[in-house]
Structure 1
Amino acid sequence: MTDQAVDTDGVRLSPDPSEDGPFLGRTRELKELRADIERAGLDTLAGKKPPRARVLLIAGRSGSGRTALAEELVRQVADRYPDGVLRARLSEPDGTAVPVERAARELLAALSLPAPAGADEDDLTAALRDALAGRRALLLLDDATGAEQVDALLPDAPESLAVAVSSGPLTGIPDVRPCTLGGLDTKSALELLTRLTGSVRITVDPRAAEGLVEICQGQPAVLLLAGGWLAAHPKAAVADLAKQLHTDGEGAPLDRLFRLVHAGLPAPAARILRLLWLAPAGLVDPHTASALAGCSVGAAHTTLDDLTALGLLRAVDAPLPQYEVPGCLHPLLRAAAQTHERPAELQLARARMLERTVRLLQSCRAAAETDDPQIRERAQGMPRALRFAGPGAAADWLRARRPALLAAARLAVADGELDTLARRLMSQLVRAMVAHFGTQAAAPDLYGVHRLVLDVAERRGLPREKAAALLNLADVDARTGRTAEALVRYRAALDAGREANDPYATGRAMESVGGAHLELGDYDRAADWFGRALAQRLARDEQGDAARLYGRIAAAHTYAGRYGEATRNWRAALAGYRRSGDVAAHARALSELARVQEYAGRPEESLRTCQEAVEWARRAEEERLQAALQLRLADTLERLGDPVAARPHRAAAEGILGQEGLKPSTDACEIRSTSAED
């Protein structure tokens, strides 16, 4: 029996994960677990309705086959839960707990539900509970490190079931049904060995085979290594392996067998195996192994396949070659690496891996940005092994390696000695994700990356990078409705930009502070901050940005009902756009000026400005804006009592929208309050 290979930093929504061959053993445990599902809970016995999903616990050491048992239970009962099966891994390969926020976000993604970037743990778990309320779903929470993780993810749905896998009890969760695993029974253990080695060596010496099972204590992970070793040594008898393990009586069976397998590997393969301890999230592909060991990609791929055959790795079901380091082997690989490799060599291997990741991300981004000749030329100069066949192949790689790439960024920042590489990695990761998935779709991942950038910038005293990270984080906060939090970060970015003497960061921060105040309804402060940003742009003779800021000041005055000030600033914006030759922006500014004139009670003036805006929109080939302006002309004429003149404008708008399948432009500001001033 083998643990089901799962994504070590994510979830899957699947009714029946594939397994290699039939499930072995654990008949009694499965029977008890299925009976526990049917058994009435404490709340039911007390005459109360259960408030939450029932929890079954499968407890055992890593390598005991606990995940495989959980997967088999899920396979057997999945048809009772029509709303599907959700899976989440709650710890990293080194045993570090996965933050509940990340697990909840991945579960929401598996449900195809939005998880706003930057949302905290409470918001995400509440959204998850809301999503699962009233559903009949099955959750598999693998490798939980404590009751707090499981408790936070439990749905308020009595008809749902949560199967938790852990090394110990989940104290604090009421009415948990525990199932503690030992070793496999002898018959199942022998069948597993037979599957791996063939039947001859098992049947010719059944006593030696039973002795080997006893030495392995029936632990599936140990039996897998034993079977892999025997398969790789076809002339060795089962008794030979049992004797070697018996002679080396130091340590647990897994330790002894790992030492034997490791010692028998060729030196290059043994070194690759040890260095896989450094693989982010325990996920390895040929490029990762190649970079860690400093060998070719082809040689690394062959070695990974050989290590998989020996039971040292598990192949991941993915569109590209990818492998997982079993959690039970992670501490053994770490100990072996620290014994056989000098600290400087380990640091160099980690640096090579991060450098390779940076170059792959550059190539991945270049595959999507084929219109940029410089990027295309740079991609052509890369080695063939680092190039992607096309945008689709690059996107598949980025999607498949996403957990490992995000883990690599976290590990690089946590290392503290590779901050330059960490900054390059995060920069390329952001650009690649935006190029392939778009800013909006990638925002949840990018928010975490920007926080890592901020950590490095603060640690290294880099005010320019700190300002950039704060601006990026604040932008996401602002887009997701956390305007007050965004305002705090924009002000901090302004301080960092001033410290770095970075005019772009300071100007951008001042404008963003104004935008936050505008969103909060403080129009006076908004106009003041836009004015400060405008003064800087004018001092630097940045006419295009200055025109845009005149428009933002005008919008703040419009919201406040100060139509005279709004009109003056829109006219200043128009002058700037005219000088810069921005026809589309000129058309939009005329549209907004016409709107302000209408609000100010000057419909005839608004009508003339709107007609001028239509002409400019036509020159700019802005069809949505043309349609919106034609509709506004029709509305204005009807209010002026001339419905006959309004009809051709409405017909023109409908013709544009019908011909192009468009909707009217909604870029204009909405008036939230009015005032008797001006």
Structure 2
Amino acid sequence: MARKTATMDPGPDAPAGAVPGLDRLPGGPALFVGRRAELAALRAAAARPAIGRSPVLVLAGRPGSGRTTLAVRFARTAAPAYPDGVLFARLSAPDGGRVPPARAARLLLEQLDPEAPVPLPGTIEDGRDEPACVALREALAGRKVLLVLDDVRDAGQLWPLLADEPGCLVLATTAGPLTGIEDIDPVILGGLDRQASGELLADLVGGTRISCDPVGGADLAEACAARPAALRLMAGWLRGDPKTAVTEAARELTRVLGEESARAAAPKGEASKAAQVAKAAQASKAAKPGQAGQAGQSGKPGNPGRPEKPGKPVPGSTPGKAGKAAKPPTTPVSSTPAGPLASAGSSTSVKGGEKPAEGPAPEPADGGTAGDRTAWVKPGPEPAEPVPVPDSDPLIGAFTLLYGTLPAAQARMLRTLTLAPAQTADPRTASALVGCPAPEAAATLAALVERELLGQEAPAADGSPRYRVPGRLYPRLVRLRELEDRPAETELARARLLERLVRLTESARALLDPASGPGPDPLPAVLRLDSAAHAREWLLGERDLLLGAVADAIGQGDLDGSAGRLVTALLRTLPLTGAAPADLYRLHELVLTVAERHGRPRRASAALLNLGDLQAAAGRWEQAVTHYRAALEHARSAGDEPLCARALEGAAGCHRALGDAVRAADWYGRALGLRQSMGDHAAEARLLARVAEAHAAQRRFDEADREYRAALAVLRRLGDERGREAVGAALADLRERVDAGW
């Protein structure tokens, strides 16, 4: 059945490619209805004069209220006013994990200027003084940039990213209050109005099913609390069963919500009995004529919400609040609340069709100036917990109905995509996860998008389509995966993904540097990287996902072998693309984690030395010394003299750069003794010259002269004429200084 794809928002989109960064925004649904008042409020707030710092607009609403879709819509219409580009970052993971502001700052810096160096991670990723946050604020100075920050958990993530640049604009979406930042008037999203809900259902379901049953459409919208995500899921359910009346869909959703509410409200001792009742009701529904065939394809007819094991909470539910479960919605759709959302300094919010607030921007609090951070940032609370989606929410009820009609292959793909890095996958990674050919994976992904169960992301750099599991569905899908898939199947899927990524990375290395050695056996044609340019595009476009896959695997600790091979492949390949030192730093940190977990001090020492070298190359000498000292301890425990010598020499170089000649001479001297015992004469000559330099810096000229002469003697035995010339010139310069009375 053909679906209408025309947008219905009154504001024109910015021309494609007119502003840098528009292609980074999530794709979002093709159909957009309603939200005229909210868009007007955002435009009015963006037009207010800003003083001192980047103004902040906040979109607040419960999961499934369309926050991200509206933010992207506004960003596309407002982009022409920000010619320096649009930046986008998510500040929460689908599982509710909090993204540190420093990590978001590094991502935004890369988007702002891919060629500029990104600072290495600091010791603490929270805080305004973290190097990446400082660099971002400095880079935004004098620019007009629109920053879209999706799913912000708390003000502590936001304020380190705010620049003292009024020409920039920050648009943040959140599920809860952002207390701690002044001068924020959140636009609060509730449900769609009655007209917009009807338009959305009519266009998504198609045909005349809604227009011929307006009462049923209104009942369905009310049962969904008029929330766009729930409406889309129910539309997908109706499209999958053309014979079901809209009124029946509303009744089914109300029934499921009642069962979920009863199960949530049941005392702990009766939870198992309530779950059995719900299971029997689902099985009865699966046997209904006209739906039995579809439900039976999944192998678990009518059982998308299998009863939970006693005592094990459902992800997304709120423990200890079973007695306060929400009842099925009975209020008119136009008055659906968005929940209690407040913000420090807020005086006006927009709900439904209310007129947006107008007027001048409020003055900074406490009589401070707008450019003074203390005037607009107050100490906030501890990081907020993710806002849960309770089992009795219409969103979960709609998902439960739709999931029960999925064929087995689609249901398994949907569950397994929760294992993908950042829950984002293209046909290559999806086919590896489920173990099917890439064309079949692509068809399954497209079918899930058609059923409103996956979101479309911006295409990869090589043009491959990309899809993402919506964060609002992630906890329930993880629960279903744990219930329906054996642990061995899950581990096998993760292992297949890592091995696929290893082969792709090695293939990219062979294309970018044929002299580095042969690549792996060729992949199937649909998966193959065709050229060096294609390999480079793939690596740069998938770099964050590759690093995320390694971090996920090492974090779980059960696939260190496959994860280690991927780390090795990335360390060999990413430098061929001019990878940022920050990426290599992350990889060496992961190597260190695995080495320490398995008690391999030699490998841990090597990782710490590489981390120290990266810090030293960035001029962060104190941090580098810390890494070199830790590397020395590991090397000593392993009895590895070359690693000990390298760590000693690295620490000495840091003290030399810091101007501490005394410590530099001490550490160089210890490294020299070790190299002499090893019989490494080339290193001995180099270290003798370094010790001489340190003595000269302390005005110990006699000792410096002696060490230079000893270095010349070693170089003479080695026959190193270039080395003799360099050391001889240094010695001559030293003697001139002594003769001049320095």
Q: Under TM normalisation by the shorter chain, which class is it?
A: 0.7 to 0.9
Q: In structure 1, what residue type is equivalent to 2:639?
A: N
Tell me the equivalent position of 1:302: 443
Closer/same/farther in 2, CA of residues 25 and 366 from structure 1, 3 Å limit:
same
1:597 aligns with 2:738: no
1:518 aligns with 2:526: no
Cα distance in structure 1, aligned partners of 2:112 and 2:428 = 31
Cα distance in structure 2, aligned partners of 1:76 and 1:444 = 34
1:533 aligns with 2:671: yes
Cα distance in structure 1, aligned partners of 2:181 and 2:522 = 57
Alpha-carbon distance, 1:177 to partner: 0.9
Q: Which moved more, 1:461-470 or 1:21-30?
A: 21-30
Alpha-carbon distance, 1:159 to partner: 4.1
Query: Normalising by structure 2, what TM-score?
Result: 0.71
Tell me the equivalent position of 1:86: 87
Cα distance in structure 1, aligned partners of 2:735 and 2:8 = 75
Q: 1:16–1:75: 8 Å Cα contact kept in structure 2?
A: no
Cα distance in structure 1, aligned partners of 2:69 and 2:717 = 67
179, 184, 194: which one aligns with 2:187? 179
Deviation track 1:509-543 (CA, whole Å, cap 9, x = no partner) reads: 12212222222233454344344434444444445
Tell me the equivalent position of 1:74: 75
Closer/same/farther in 2, CA of residues 546 and 321 from structure 1, 3 Å limit:
farther
1:320 aligns with 2:448: no
Q: In structure 1, what residue type is equivalent to 2:612?
A: A
1:27 aligns with 2:165: no
Q: Which moved more, 1:563-572 or 1:187-196?
A: 563-572
1:287 aligns with 2:428: yes
Alpha-carbon distance, 1:331 to partner: 1.2
Paired residues for 1:140-539 under 5 Å: 140-249=148-257, 250=260, 251-318=392-459, 319-372=463-516, 375-376=517-518, 378-380=519-521, 387-437=528-578, 441-539=579-677
Deviation track 1:313-343 (CA, whole Å, cap 9, x = no partner) reads: 1222222232111111111211111121233
Query: What SS does structure 2 have at the residue aligned with 1:88?
Result: strand
Query: What SS does structure 1 have at the residue aligned with 2:558?
Result: coil
Q: 2:628–2:650: 8 Å Cα contact kept in structure 1?
A: yes
Closer/same/farther in 2, CA of residues 16 and 480 from structure 1, 3 Å limit:
closer
Cα distance in structure 2, aligned partners of 1:15 and 1:674 = 65
Query: Normalising by structure 1, what TM-score?
Result: 0.78
Query: What SS does structure 2 have at the residue aligned with 1:499?
Result: helix
Closer/same/farther in 2, CA of residues 461 and 332 from structure 1, 3 Å limit:
same
Cα distance in structure 1, aligned partners of 2:681 and 2:582 = 35
Alpha-carbon distance, 1:202 to partner: 2.9
Name the structure, 1 or 2, with higher relative contact order (CA <8 Å, separation 6+).
Answer: 2
Q: 1:470–1:489: 8 Å Cα contact kept in structure 2?
A: yes
Deviation track 1:17-45 (CA, whole Å, cap 9, x = no partner) reads: 5666464210111222223334578xxxx
Alpha-carbon distance, 1:390 to partner: 2.5
- CA-based RMSD of the aligned residues comes to 3.1
Closer/same/farther in 2, CA of residues 329 and 522 from structure 1, 3 Å limit:
same
Long gaps (5+) in structure 2 = 1-6, 10-19, 261-391
Q: In structure 1, what residue type is equivalent to 2:725?
A: L
Q: In structure 2, what residue type is equivalent to 1:362?
A: E
Tell me the equivalent position of 2:99: 98
Cα distance in structure 2, aligned partners of 1:550 and 1:381 = 51
Tell me the equivalent position of 2:119: 116
Q: 1:544–1:576: 8 Å Cα contact kept in structure 2?
A: no
Cα distance in structure 2, aligned partners of 1:486 and 1:231 = 60
Q: Which moved more, 1:19-28 or 1:86-95?
A: 19-28
Q: In structure 2, what residue type is equivalent to 1:330?
A: Y
Tell me the equivalent position of 1:587: 722
Tell me the equivalent position of 1:619: none
Query: What SS does structure 2 have at the residue aligned with 1:300?
Result: helix
Deviation track 1:454-477 (CA, whole Å, cap 9, x = no partner) reads: 233333322112211211111111
Deviation track 1:208-257 (CA, whole Å, cap 9, x = no partner) reads: 33332222222222222233333444455434533433442333222222
Q: 2:60–2:189: 8 Å Cα contact kept in structure 1?
A: yes
Tell me the equivalent position of 1:634: none
Closer/same/farther in 2, CA of residues 524 and 23 from structure 1, 3 Å limit:
same
Query: What SS does structure 1 have at the residue aligned with 2:21?
Result: coil
Cα distance in structure 2, aligned partners of 1:14 and 1:106 = 15
Deviation track 1:108-140 (CA, whole Å, cap 9, x = no partner) reads: 222224332234651322232233334443322
Query: What SS does structure 1 have at the residue aligned with 2:719?
Result: helix
Q: In structure 2, what residue type is equivalent to 1:60?
A: G
- Structure with more of its chain in helix, by fraction: 1
Closer/same/farther in 2, CA of residues 516 and 255 from structure 1, 3 Å limit:
same
Deviation track 1:73-101 (CA, whole Å, cap 9, x = no partner) reads: 22333333344333221111111111111
Q: In structure 2, what residue type is equivalent to 1:340?
A: E
Cα distance in structure 2, aligned partners of 1:172 and 1:516 = 40
Q: Which moved more, 1:248-257 or 1:32-41?
A: 32-41
Closer/same/farther in 2, CA of residues 547 and 361 from structure 1, 3 Å limit:
farther
Deviation track 1:543-595 (CA, whole Å, cap 9, x = no partner) reads: 5544544554455456567463464255245336537xxxxxx4365245335
Cα distance in structure 2, aligned partners of 1:511 and 1:160 = 46
Cα distance in structure 1, aligned partners of 2:86 and 2:186 = 20
Alpha-carbon distance, 1:160 to partner: 3.2
Q: In structure 1, what residue type is equivalent to 2:482?
A: Q
Q: 1:2–1:68: 8 Å Cα contact kept in structure 2?
A: no
Tell me the equivalent position of 2:272: none
Alpha-carbon distance, 1:675 to partner: 9.5
Q: In structure 2, what residue type is equivalent to 1:261?
A: L
Cα distance in structure 2, aligned partners of 1:674 and 1:465 = 46
Q: Which moved more, 1:483-492 or 1:343-352?
A: 343-352
Q: Which moved more, 1:86-95 or 1:534-543?
A: 534-543
Closer/same/farther in 2, CA of residues 132 and 266 from structure 1, 3 Å limit:
same
Q: In structure 1, what residue type is equivalent to 2:471?
A: G
Q: 1:551–1:573: 8 Å Cα contact kept in structure 2?
A: no
Q: Which moved more, 1:397-406 or 1:94-103?
A: 397-406
Alpha-carbon distance, 1:65 to partner: 0.8
Q: Which moved more, 1:94-103 or 1:307-316?
A: 307-316
Deviation track 1:252-311 (CA, whole Å, cap 9, x = no partner) reads: 222222222222222122112111111111111223222322333332222112212211
Query: What SS does structure 2 have at the residue aligned with 1:163?
Result: strand
Query: What SS does structure 2 have at the residue aligned with 1:218?
Result: coil
Tell me the equivalent position of 1:56: 57
Q: In structure 2, what residue type is equivalent to 1:455?
A: T
1:125 aligns with 2:133: yes
Cα distance in structure 1, aligned partners of 2:442 and 2:617 = 43
Number of positions where the alignment pairs a residue of Structure 1 with one of Structure 2: 579
Q: In structure 1, what residue type is equivalent to 2:564?
A: R
Query: What SS does structure 2 have at the residue aligned with 1:98?
Result: coil
Q: 1:477–1:483: 8 Å Cα contact kept in structure 2?
A: yes
